Amino acid sequence: MMEMKRPALPLTGECPCEAVRFEVSAMPLLIYACHCTECQRWSGRAFSMSMPVASKSFRVVRGEPKPWRRIGASGVQSTYWFCGDCGGRVYGERDARPDIRAVRAGTLDDTSWLRPVAHVYMRSAQPWEQLAGRGTLRDHAEGFLDARRQVAADVAGVMKRSSVAESLEKSSQPAYVAVSV
Protein backbone atom coordinates (compact mmCIF):
# COMPACT_ATOMS: atom_id res chain seq x y z
CA MET A 1 0.00 0.00 0.00
CA MET A 2 1.39 3.38 -1.04
CA GLU A 3 1.66 5.95 1.73
CA MET A 4 -0.20 9.18 1.04
CA LYS A 5 1.21 12.44 2.30
CA ARG A 6 -0.67 15.61 3.04
CA PRO A 7 0.37 18.36 0.61
CA ALA A 8 2.10 21.49 1.81
CA LEU A 9 0.11 24.70 1.84
CA PRO A 10 -0.39 26.83 -0.08
CA LEU A 11 -1.60 24.58 -2.90
CA THR A 12 -0.55 26.11 -6.21
CA GLY A 13 -1.58 25.61 -9.79
CA GLU A 14 -2.06 27.15 -13.19
CA CYS A 15 -3.68 26.89 -16.59
CA PRO A 16 -1.94 24.81 -19.31
CA CYS A 17 -0.07 27.79 -20.82
CA GLU A 18 0.95 29.12 -17.36
CA ALA A 19 -0.57 32.58 -17.96
CA VAL A 20 -3.06 32.23 -15.08
CA ARG A 21 -1.64 31.08 -11.76
CA PHE A 22 -3.40 30.64 -8.40
CA GLU A 23 -2.86 29.53 -4.83
CA VAL A 24 -5.08 28.03 -2.16
CA SER A 25 -4.14 28.66 1.47
CA ALA A 26 -6.37 25.97 3.08
CA MET A 27 -7.09 22.30 2.48
CA PRO A 28 -10.01 21.62 0.12
CA LEU A 29 -13.45 21.00 1.55
CA LEU A 30 -13.94 17.99 -0.72
CA ILE A 31 -12.48 16.29 -3.77
CA TYR A 32 -14.95 14.66 -6.14
CA ALA A 33 -15.13 13.17 -9.61
CA CYS A 34 -18.10 14.13 -11.77
CA HIS A 35 -19.12 11.72 -14.52
CA CYS A 36 -21.99 13.82 -15.96
CA THR A 37 -22.18 14.30 -19.72
CA GLU A 38 -21.52 18.06 -19.41
CA CYS A 39 -18.24 17.46 -17.56
CA GLN A 40 -17.29 14.81 -20.12
CA ARG A 41 -17.95 17.26 -22.96
CA TRP A 42 -16.23 20.24 -21.31
CA SER A 43 -13.15 18.31 -20.18
CA GLY A 44 -12.84 15.95 -23.15
CA ARG A 45 -12.41 13.13 -20.61
CA ALA A 46 -14.47 10.39 -18.99
CA PHE A 47 -14.91 12.54 -15.85
CA SER A 48 -13.65 15.73 -14.26
CA MET A 49 -12.27 16.24 -10.77
CA SER A 50 -13.22 19.27 -8.75
CA MET A 51 -11.96 20.57 -5.46
CA PRO A 52 -14.24 23.03 -3.65
CA VAL A 53 -12.31 25.44 -1.45
CA ALA A 54 -13.31 28.38 0.74
CA SER A 55 -13.38 31.53 -1.40
CA LYS A 56 -11.31 33.40 1.17
CA SER A 57 -8.51 30.83 0.78
CA PHE A 58 -8.32 31.14 -3.04
CA ARG A 59 -6.52 33.85 -4.98
CA VAL A 60 -5.25 34.39 -8.49
CA VAL A 61 -1.57 35.40 -8.28
CA ARG A 62 -0.86 35.87 -11.99
CA GLY A 63 -2.95 36.69 -15.02
CA GLU A 64 -6.57 37.63 -15.41
CA PRO A 65 -8.95 34.73 -16.03
CA LYS A 66 -11.93 35.34 -18.29
CA PRO A 67 -15.51 34.49 -17.21
CA TRP A 68 -18.09 32.34 -18.95
CA ARG A 69 -21.53 32.47 -17.31
CA ARG A 70 -24.33 29.98 -17.78
CA ILE A 71 -27.35 28.51 -16.06
CA GLY A 72 -26.78 24.85 -15.22
CA ALA A 73 -29.20 21.91 -15.15
CA SER A 74 -30.12 22.81 -11.56
CA GLY A 75 -31.22 26.30 -12.64
CA VAL A 76 -28.36 27.98 -10.76
CA GLN A 77 -26.23 30.65 -12.45
CA SER A 78 -22.54 29.66 -12.51
CA THR A 79 -19.39 31.41 -13.67
CA TYR A 80 -16.51 29.37 -15.05
CA TRP A 81 -13.13 31.10 -15.10
CA PHE A 82 -10.65 30.17 -17.82
CA CYS A 83 -7.43 31.43 -19.36
CA GLY A 84 -8.07 33.85 -22.22
CA ASP A 85 -4.90 32.65 -23.98
CA CYS A 86 -5.18 28.85 -23.90
CA GLY A 87 -8.83 28.38 -22.88
CA GLY A 88 -7.95 26.16 -19.91
CA ARG A 89 -10.63 26.16 -17.19
CA VAL A 90 -9.17 26.96 -13.80
CA TYR A 91 -12.10 27.32 -11.38
CA GLY A 92 -15.80 28.03 -11.10
CA GLU A 93 -18.28 29.61 -8.75
CA ARG A 94 -22.05 29.55 -8.30
CA ASP A 95 -24.16 32.56 -7.48
CA ALA A 96 -25.90 30.46 -4.82
CA ARG A 97 -22.55 29.68 -3.08
CA PRO A 98 -20.32 32.78 -3.16
CA ASP A 99 -18.28 31.37 -0.26
CA ILE A 100 -16.98 28.46 -2.42
CA ARG A 101 -14.64 28.25 -5.42
CA ALA A 102 -14.56 24.92 -7.27
CA VAL A 103 -10.96 24.52 -8.44
CA ARG A 104 -10.27 22.11 -11.31
CA ALA A 105 -8.16 19.59 -9.40
CA GLY A 106 -6.01 18.72 -12.43
CA THR A 107 -4.69 22.29 -12.61
CA LEU A 108 -2.68 21.84 -9.39
CA ASP A 109 1.10 21.69 -9.65
CA ASP A 110 1.11 18.54 -7.51
CA THR A 111 -1.78 16.15 -8.17
CA SER A 112 -0.15 13.07 -6.63
CA TRP A 113 -2.16 13.34 -3.39
CA LEU A 114 -5.62 13.79 -4.96
CA ARG A 115 -8.17 11.12 -4.02
CA PRO A 116 -11.88 11.74 -4.65
CA VAL A 117 -14.23 11.08 -1.73
CA ALA A 118 -17.26 11.17 -4.03
CA HIS A 119 -18.09 10.07 -7.57
CA VAL A 120 -21.27 11.66 -8.91
CA TYR A 121 -23.50 11.05 -11.95
CA MET A 122 -22.41 7.43 -12.26
CA ARG A 123 -25.28 6.66 -14.66
CA SER A 124 -23.40 8.79 -17.18
CA ALA A 125 -20.06 7.09 -16.45
CA GLN A 126 -18.36 5.27 -19.27
CA PRO A 127 -19.14 1.53 -19.22
CA TRP A 128 -15.47 0.61 -18.72
CA GLU A 129 -15.11 2.67 -15.52
CA GLN A 130 -14.77 0.69 -12.29
CA LEU A 131 -14.37 2.17 -8.83
CA ALA A 132 -11.95 0.66 -6.33
CA GLY A 133 -11.73 1.02 -2.58
CA ARG A 134 -14.27 1.25 0.23
CA GLY A 135 -17.20 2.84 -1.58
CA THR A 136 -20.93 3.14 -1.23
CA LEU A 137 -23.00 3.10 -4.43
CA ARG A 138 -26.28 4.98 -4.38
CA ASP A 139 -28.72 4.82 -7.28
CA HIS A 140 -31.02 7.82 -7.57
CA ALA A 141 -33.86 7.31 -9.99
CA GLU A 142 -35.69 10.32 -8.55
CA GLY A 143 -35.59 13.78 -10.06
CA PHE A 144 -32.43 15.85 -10.35
CA LEU A 145 -33.05 18.08 -7.32
CA ASP A 146 -33.92 15.13 -5.06
CA ALA A 147 -30.72 13.42 -6.23
CA ARG A 148 -28.69 16.57 -5.52
CA ARG A 149 -30.02 16.66 -1.97
CA GLN A 150 -29.13 12.98 -1.48
CA VAL A 151 -25.66 13.53 -2.96
CA ALA A 152 -25.13 16.38 -0.49
CA ALA A 153 -26.28 14.18 2.41
CA ASP A 154 -24.10 11.25 1.26
CA VAL A 155 -21.03 13.44 0.84
CA ALA A 156 -21.64 15.14 4.20
CA GLY A 157 -21.69 11.69 5.78
CA VAL A 158 -18.39 10.76 4.17
CA MET A 159 -16.85 14.07 5.21
CA LYS A 160 -17.94 13.54 8.82
CA ARG A 161 -16.27 10.13 8.78
CA SER A 162 -13.27 11.14 6.72
CA SER A 163 -12.05 14.64 5.95
CA VAL A 164 -9.70 15.12 3.02
CA ALA A 165 -6.78 15.70 5.38
CA GLU A 166 -7.63 12.65 7.51
CA SER A 167 -8.02 10.49 4.41
CA LEU A 168 -4.58 11.52 3.24
CA GLU A 169 -3.03 10.64 6.56
CA LYS A 170 -4.83 7.32 7.18
CA SER A 171 -5.24 5.41 3.95
CA SER A 172 -4.28 5.07 0.33
CA GLN A 173 -7.95 4.38 -0.53
CA PRO A 174 -10.23 6.80 1.32
CA ALA A 175 -13.93 6.09 1.58
CA TYR A 176 -16.11 7.53 -1.13
CA VAL A 177 -19.70 7.76 -2.21
CA ALA A 178 -20.61 6.86 -5.80
CA VAL A 179 -23.94 8.22 -6.99
CA SER A 180 -25.98 7.33 -10.06
CA VAL A 181 -28.29 10.14 -11.09
* Per CATH, domain 11-180 is 2.170.150.70: yes
| Minimum mean pLDDT range among 51-55, 94-98, 100-104, 174-178 | 174-178
Give pLDDT tens digits for 72-99: 767 889 999 999 999 999 999 999 899 9
**Strands 176-180 and 118-120, sheet pairing:** parallel
Is it the case that residue 139 has pLDDT exceeding 70?
no
